[in-house]
Amino acid sequence: MAGQVQMIYIDPPYGIKYGSNFQPFTNKRDVKDRSDADLTQEPEMIKAFRDTWELGIHSYLTYLRDRLLLAKDLLSESGSVFVQISDENLHHVREIMDEVFGASNYVALLIYKKTFGLVLQKQRAHQIQPALL
């Protein structure tokens, strides 16, 4: 599929405070001790089940960069990639996208407003609006 995909849309967690529901360990339910000895030896399984964002912004951005590099390989010459992100890390994601795809390939920032019923609008008035890069 390399070079054949026309559009990729990515909706990653919005930031490093992401409350992951992943379990850090695959072979037991009690994760209070956080011992690496219980982790599986399969590296892909560790990535799939470990909440690496607890390591800070650099691990979150590395996670995104790795996926964007793969996206670049998959995209056709005329393909597009869209990343939905909040304004908390928007500037970081833009920098990574410029690094991976080149700043000259940036087209636009799309900001949109989610609509809710009247009751939910009052409850969510403080919510940050998501953006597409």
Strand partners, 10: 83
Is the pLDDT reported for residue 111 higher than 50? yes
Whether 59 is in a domain gets the answer yes
Rounded Cα distance between 121 and 133, Å, is 25
Domains identified in the chain, total number:
1
Whether 67 is in a domain gets the answer yes
Whether 2 is in a domain gets the answer no
At 78-103, the pLDDT tens digits run: 999 999 888 878 899 999 999 999 99
Whether 113 is in a domain gets the answer yes
CB-side neighbour CA atoms (13 Å) of 53: 16
Whether 45 is in a domain gets the answer yes
Whether 127 is in a domain gets the answer yes
Is the pLDDT reported for residue 8 higher than 60? yes
Whether 1 is in a domain gets the answer no
Rounded Cα distance between 62 and 79, Å, is 23
At 12-50, the pLDDT tens digits run: 876 655 554 444 444 554 444 555 555 445 554 444 444
Per the structure, the complete domain to which residue 120 belongs is given by: 7-29+38-132
- The residue that leads in pLDDT, 60 or 30, is 60
Give the range with max mean pLDDT: 5-19, 72-86, 108-122. Answer: 72-86
**CB neighbour list of residue 65: distance below 8 Å, 6 or more residues apart:** 96, 99, 100
